[in-house]
Amino acid sequence: MNTLLQCAARTLDLSAPVVMGVLNVTPDSFSDGGRFLDTDVMLRRVADMLAEGASLIDVGGESTRPGADPVSIQQELDRVIPAVEAIHSEFDTIISLDTSTPEVIRAGAAAGAGFINDVRALQREGALQAAADTGLPICLMHMQGEPATMQGAPSYDDVTAEVQAFFAERLIACRFAGIEENRIVLDPGFGFGKTDAQNVELLAALPSMMALGLPLLVGLSRKSMIGRLLGREVEDRMVGSVALALMAMERGASIVRAHDVAQTMDALRLFCAVNKRTTV
């Protein structure tokens, strides 16, 4: 497995798990919608996450919570590009673009982003070519349906096998578009068109995803499944989030996406100490 991702001018070392800090510049995200629309507040949050140990910052301008409606291209550009430009000018860090939109992929890369994180696995028209042209690493996520409808009635005969088959298909599409596998990260898409039972099954089977030979990104932070399984509101899901992040690390995840960066880094450091690995 490739453990070094060239993210524009910076290199992301995945020889040990790393934490991706979440930054939503949207008014309606399920956990922190509207909190970081002010540039000064947003930059203070980025500074905090980097100080806490985040290796990259994931900037999203379109909510993908269950039931969310898509935003216009211009709305997403207006939210994301100023944030990317501000972070790029202030901090020496890798900026991840949480987007499916070709225009945002191109503009974000030009503004200083170094990683593309697409919940639709480059399936929007033009996204494959836009991603290929940037030369940046890409995370392909599995989602059954679209955010507005994905949690209506998720159905699988074998969730793990079907997610793996989806990735195999998308890897072929990427290859034809000129995207080499050493630029690709995979995300099983916990909570995206999956029931709680399917999420649990997929997490338990995460080591089988390693057969594809690519790094895995896992996003379980503050997800609704934690609320339902533990009876916790979104503001009380930190412990559950860190526990699931640790389980993901133990099962092979290279990147864990987190709102609670400091607490997730504590878990990562203990994981690395027990496994005699150096945190990166």
The answer as to whether 48 is a domain residue is: yes
- Residue 171's identity, in one-letter code, is L
Q: Which domain holds residue 53?
A: 4-274
Give residues with Cβ within 8 angstroms of 110, minimum separation 6: none
- pLDDT of 36 > 60? The answer is no
Query: What tens digit of pLDDT does each residue of 91-143 get?
Result: 999 999 999 999 999 999 999 999 999 999 999 999 999 999 999 999 999 99
Q: Is residue 31 part of a domain?
A: yes
Q: Is residue 280 part of a domain?
A: no
Residue 70 lies in a domain: yes
255-258 vs 18-24, strand pairing mode: parallel
CATH value at residue 73: 3.20.20.20
Is residue 206 a contact partner of residue 248, using CB atoms and an 8 Å limit? yes
pTM above the 0.85 mark? Answer: yes
Our count of domains for the chain comes to 1
Catalytic residue among 79, 170, 183, 257: 257
What SS3 class is residue 45?
A: helix
Out of 45, 170, 183, 223, the active site residue is 223
For 162-209, how does the pLDDT look when each residue is reduced to its tens digit (9 = 90+)? Answer: 999 999 999 999 999 999 999 999 999 999 999 999 999 999 999 999
The helix or strand, by DSSP H or E, that contains position 230, with its residue range, turns out to be helix 224-230
Query: Is 195 within a domain?
Result: yes
Q: Please indicate whether residue 223 is annotated as part of the active site.
A: yes
Q: What is the pLDDT of residues 134-143, one digit of tens each?
A: 999 999 999 9
Respond yes or no: is residue 194 known to be catalytic: no
State the Cα–Cα distance between residues 267 and 118, nearest whole angstrom.
Answer: 26
Instruction: Tell me, yes or no, whether 21 lies in a domain.
Output: yes
Asked whether residue 279 is domain-assigned, the answer is: no
